[in-house]
């Protein structure tokens, strides 16, 4: 099969900290060494690997280092990795939003990128006007959009509101409209960042279905970044793991997911990570943060966390279901019990527990590991699932000031 995209030693360096007089001095020195002395950029040699949690000596870090791989035509590649591994930077370079520091990317065909849905939407303009606007920003001509307008409106399911300014739309409708435009972009190469995480379940299904059509039926090449392992497994043939800016694994999607989870001793689904369970209890499904995948991303603005436990029980009375949130080192930070509000539970036959847990307002970027237990307090454990699920928090990252970043995942408590 022919190669559709070729990455050759792609690297990207970023400077940390603030822009100020210090950077001016560096800029002058760089200019002097390159243009007057005719040497290489002095700051390119001192960059450090991109590891967010360690304190580095250098002000420069490599967000990407020597990325080197090929993508076959018609392949769907899932790019997975922890927060800050360089996934988004890679997509940005591929979308030409920013240029690489070194290396080249060669590609065949039009690259359509979807780093965000609804880019360029103007709140004062109607849905129809915004379809044109957004489509044109993504590289379609007016004639192309007119041809597909009905299809786009139909796909979005916002027909009734199409002549209303989008500022009157709900945020979900805005996402639908934005994705509908992007889905009809028809580029040979489609680059998708984790945009499917927004929108309701029905729409997510529709969006994933559309992407499957694109890749299978129409033979397009897709690069897909996601934390949702189920989506990656569904959609992708090939998987690439990025870690600290380098490719650490490349192979089939299944192998990549397995490898990625192995680094955290996790299996794909939360229920797979249950180590110990009582014979009278049979857990069928656990969803945290709306997914049964054991790794998911927590958006700090979402405000609450959805928890759902489904299964069959045989005469378990006075039980409680508890979640414990730990940081990366295993220290417990917070707990949540179903009994706090609704009292102890009596489980018999099929049950489905669900709750919405309120999240603190400020959360630091990092990971939380979740334990789930169903137990009769002080008597007996029915279910123990230690660290069965990981939540990557895309929170606030303190970059300035004297304090070292708090250990990852620790909740930052606001002053009253």
Partner 1 sequence: MDKPNNQDWTTVIQPREGLLHVDFKELWRYRDLCMLFVRRNITTQFKQTILGPLWYLIQPTMTVIMYMVVFGGIAQISTDGLPQPLFYLSGICLWQYFNDCLTKTSSTFTANAGIFGKVYFPRMIVPISTVISNLLRFAIQLGLFLIVYAVYMIFGLQGYEHVHTNWYVMLLPLLVVMLAGLALGFGILFSSMTTKYRDMSLLLDYFVRLWMYATPVIYPLSTITNAKLRLVMSLNPLTGIVEAFKYGMLGAGEFSWWMLGYSFAFMVVLLGVGVVIFNRVQRTFMDTV
**Considering the complex, what minimum distance in angstroms separates the CB of residue 305 from partner 1?**
27
**Considering the complex, what minimum distance in angstroms separates the CB of residue 101 from partner 1?**
6
Asked whether the beta carbons of 302 and 411 are under 8 A apart, the reply is: no
Q: Which of 50, 83, 113, 327 binds partner 1 (CB under 8 A)?
A: 113
For the record, the structure tokens of 363 come out as 């959360």
Site size toward partner 1 (CB under 8 A) is 46
**Considering the complex, what minimum distance in angstroms separates the CB of residue 5 from partner 1?**
9
Q: Which of 76, 138, 319, 321 binds partner 1 (CB under 8 A)?
A: 138
| Residue (195 or 372) nearer to partner 1, CB | 195
Per rule CB under 8 A, is residue 111 in the interface with partner 1? yes
Q: Which of 116, 202, 213, 361 binds partner 1 (CB under 8 A)?
A: 116
Q: Which of 17, 34, 46, 104 binds partner 1 (CB under 8 A)?
A: 104
Say how many C-beta atoms besides its own lie within 10 A of residue 81's C-beta.
23
Per rule CB under 8 A, is residue 124 in the interface with partner 1? yes
The interface mask with partner 1, positions 165-204, x = CB under 8 A, is x---------------------------------------
Q: Which of 17, 22, 109, 377 binds partner 1 (CB under 8 A)?
A: 109
Per rule CB under 8 A, is residue 42 in the interface with partner 1? no
Per rule CB under 8 A, is residue 28 in the interface with partner 1? no
**Considering the complex, what minimum distance in angstroms separates the CB of residue 174 from partner 1?**
15
| Residue (115 or 248) nearer to partner 1, CB | 115
Q: Which of 53, 98, 263, 317 binds partner 1 (CB under 8 A)?
A: 98
Euclidean distance between the first and final Cα of the chain, in Å?
61
Per rule CB under 8 A, is residue 73 in the interface with partner 1? no
Per rule CB under 8 A, is residue 17 in the interface with partner 1? no
* Options 129-137, 200-208, 209-217, 344-352: segment touching partner 1 (CB under 8 A): 129-137
Pairing of strands 332-337, 366-376: unpaired
Per rule CB under 8 A, is residue 23 in the interface with partner 1? yes
Q: CA quadruple 305, 310, 316, 317: dihedral positive or negative? A: positive
Per rule CB under 8 A, is residue 101 in the interface with partner 1? yes
Per rule CB under 8 A, is residue 147 in the interface with partner 1? no
| Residue (90 or 390) nearer to partner 1, CB | 90
Per rule CB under 8 A, is residue 149 in the interface with partner 1? no
Which residues fall within 8 angstroms of residue 121, CB to CB, at 6 or more apart?
Answer: 130, 133, 134, 166, 174, 177, 178
Per rule CB under 8 A, is residue 125 in the interface with partner 1? yes
Per rule CB under 8 A, is residue 133 in the interface with partner 1? yes
* Options 103-111, 286-294, 317-325, 406-414: segment touching partner 1 (CB under 8 A): 103-111
Per rule CB under 8 A, is residue 3 in the interface with partner 1? yes
Q: How far is CA 190 from CA 185, 196, 215, 415, 416, in A?
A: 9, 14, 9, 45, 47
Per rule CB under 8 A, is residue 110 in the interface with partner 1? yes
Per rule CB under 8 A, is residue 332 in the interface with partner 1? no
**Considering the complex, what minimum distance in angstroms separates the CB of residue 6 from partner 1?**
7
Per rule CB under 8 A, is residue 24 in the interface with partner 1? yes
Q: Give the binding site for partner 1 (CB under 8 A).
A: 2-3, 6, 14, 19, 23-24, 27, 92-111, 113, 115-116, 119-120, 122, 124-125, 129, 132-133, 136-139, 141-142, 165
């Amino acid at each position: 099969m022919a190669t559709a995209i070729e990455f050759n030693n792609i690297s990207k360096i970023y400077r940390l900290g603030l822009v100020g007089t210090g950077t001016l001095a560096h800029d002058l020195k760089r200019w002097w060494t390159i243009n007057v002395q005719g040497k290489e950029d002095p700051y390119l040699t001192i960059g450090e690997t991109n590891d967010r949690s360690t304190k580095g000596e250098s002000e420069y870090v490599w967000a990407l280092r020597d990325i080197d791989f090929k993508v076959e035509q018609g392949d769907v590649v899932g790019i997975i990795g922890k927060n800050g591994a360089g996934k988004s930077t890679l997509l940005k370079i591929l979308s030409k939003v920013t240029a690489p520091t070194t290396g080249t990317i060669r590609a065949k065909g039009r690259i359509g990128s979807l780093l965000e849905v609804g880019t360029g939407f103007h709140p004062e303009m109607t849905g129809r006007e915004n379809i044109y606007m957004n489509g044109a920003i993504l590289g379609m001509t007016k004639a192309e959009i007119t041809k597909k307008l009905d299809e786009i409106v139909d796909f979005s399911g916002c027909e009734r509101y199409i002549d209303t300014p989008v500022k009157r739309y709900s945020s979900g409708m805005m996402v639908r409209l934005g994705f509908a435009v992007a889905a009809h972009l028809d580029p040979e190469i489609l680059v998708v960042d984790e945009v499917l995480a927004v929108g309701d379940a029905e729409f997510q299904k529709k969006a994933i279905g559309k992407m499957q059509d694109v890749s299978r039926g129409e033979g397009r090449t897709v690069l897909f970044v996601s934390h949702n392992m189920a989506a990656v497994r569904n959609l992708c043939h090939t998987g690439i793991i990025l870690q600290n800016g380098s490719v650490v694994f490349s192979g089939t999607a299944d192998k990549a997911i397995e490898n990625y989870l192995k680094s955290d001793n996790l299996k794909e689904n939360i229920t797979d990570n249950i180590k110990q369970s009582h014979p009278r209890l049979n857990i069928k499904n656990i969803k945290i943060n709306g997914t049964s995948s054991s790794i998911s991303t927590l958006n700090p603005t979402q405000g609450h966390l959805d928890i759902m436990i489904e299964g069959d029980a045989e005469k378990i009375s006075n039980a409680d279901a508890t979640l414990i949130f730990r940081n990366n080192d295993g220290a417990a930070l917070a707990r949540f019990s179903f009994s706090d509000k609704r009292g102890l539970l009596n489980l018999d036959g099929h049950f489905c527990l669900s709750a919405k847990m309120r999240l603190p307002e400020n959360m630091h970027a990092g990971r939380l590991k979740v334990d789930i237990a169903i137990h009769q307090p002080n008597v007996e454990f029915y279910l123990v699932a230690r660290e069965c699920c990981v939540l990557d928090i895309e929170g606030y990252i303190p970059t300035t000031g004297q304090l070292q970043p708090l250990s990852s995942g620790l909740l930052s408590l606001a002053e009253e």
